[in-house]
Structure formats: structure tokens, C-alpha cells
Amino acid sequence: MYIIIIGGGGTGTALAKVLESENNEIVIVEKDEEQAKELAESMDALVIHGDGSDSQILKDAGIEHADAVVILTREDNTNLTICQMIKKFDVKRIVARVNDPSKKELYIGLEITAAISPISAVTSYFKNAIMHGSSRSMFSIGKGQAEIIELEFKNEKLDGRMIKDIDIPSGAIIGAISRNGEIIIAKRKEILKKNDLLTVITKTDVSKDVITILRGGE
């Protein structure tokens, strides 16, 4: 894939390295001249010094044939502006960083591929580590009203039962099962086995009950 990353800070650099290692073609647009120079010297990716909200800079970066664009500046107004500009170039995948979680709805209104809030994600990880131990919250959604949780199924009393026969709260649903390296879409008649890694979508107010049931009250 041809991927443009706008914002070459810590997150942008780490992401670029991972994507580059998977044989994607990466272009980084960085506004700070010194940072751009350091990136150009330390990475194989093409680094362009410039403002990602400048249409000419976007064209220089190859926006017209980009498969995806990731927008990672620390200013939401800048990110929103760039999202609007990029949509005019018919890029299939647009992913943006949300710096202020309260502004996430503005990104969603643009109908981009994904709007990710590092603050919300980190908050969910820490909260879940405190409240639930080994289970972990992957994403907080719906302004914190729901979350996606990953946890190990340890309830021996429910081992071997179909999902439809497990009485979890109505505000939760098991979405996927990871078993021996295989991902299984969790249909109602799918049988759960001890030590399955479950991905669960749950309303926040019932998440504790869901975890207690699936982990056996540990």
C-alpha cells in the first residue's frame, strides 16, 4: 500500500516503521524542519518538510494515488481541515488522531475510516487494569457508554456451552473468539472452551458483570 502519514512525532514515526517493515510504501509529511531532517536521516521512507494542510504539499506527497492517509498532528482543527481536503482526492482510507475526545463527533461527521483518541484508549486500558485485572479494554466507544473488551474465558462451569446458553447481560455480546491462533466469529451456536480469548462488546455499566461471568468470578 501507498500510505501517507501526516505528523512525524513519536506515534507517526513508530507507525511508519511498522508499516515500512511490512513492505508498504511510506511518505511522512512533517511541518517541523528539524524533525523532518532527523526523520529523513533515520528512515528509508520519503520525508517531506511541509504543512499537511497545504494542497500542494499533499500533491507532492502523492495524495492522488495514495491508498491511505493517517493524520497525526496535535491540533484537532488542523486534523479536521486535512480530513476535509483529503476526501476531495477520493482516498479510500482516512484515519485521524483525535486529541480532544469531546471533538470525536466532528471527525465521525466527516465519515472517515476511523477517528482514534489516544487519550480515551489509554484511559480505558488503565481503568480496566485497575478494575478488572487481566481483562483489558481495547476501545471506549459511544462517549464512554460502551467498550470493547478482550478477556480470557476461564469459567469452568460454562466450559463447553454454546454462547446462546450463557446468561450474559443483554447489554453485551461476544463478537469473536481467538483459539489456537484462529479467529472464530462468535455465532450463537458457537461452543466456548476454557482459555478461549474473547472479544466482547459491552455497555460500560454491565462490563463488570460480563467479566465476572466469563471469568468465573475470579
**Cα 202 to Cα 187: distance, rounded to the nearest angstrom:** 16
pLDDT digit string, tens, across residues 80-125: 999 999 999 989 999 999 999 888 889 988 989 988 888 777 776 6
Domains contained in the chain, CATH given: 2-116 (3.40.50.720), 120-215 (3.30.70.1450)
- Grid coordinates in use for 153? 474465558
Q: What is the mean pLDDT of the chain?
A: 89
Measured distance CA(205)–CA(147) in Å, rounded: 10
pLDDT at res. 35: 93
Q: Is 193 exposed, middle or buried (0-12, 13-18, 19+ CB in 10 A)?
A: middle
Q: Please say if the pLDDT value at position 56 is more than 70.
A: yes
Rounded Cα–Cα distance for residues 54 and 29 (Å): 11
Whole-model pTM above 0.75? no
Q: Give tens-digit pLDDT for 174-211.
A: 999 999 889 999 999 999 999 999 999 999 889 889 99
Beta bridge partners of 204: none
State how far the Cα of 86 lies from the Cα of 109, in Å rounded to an integer: 15
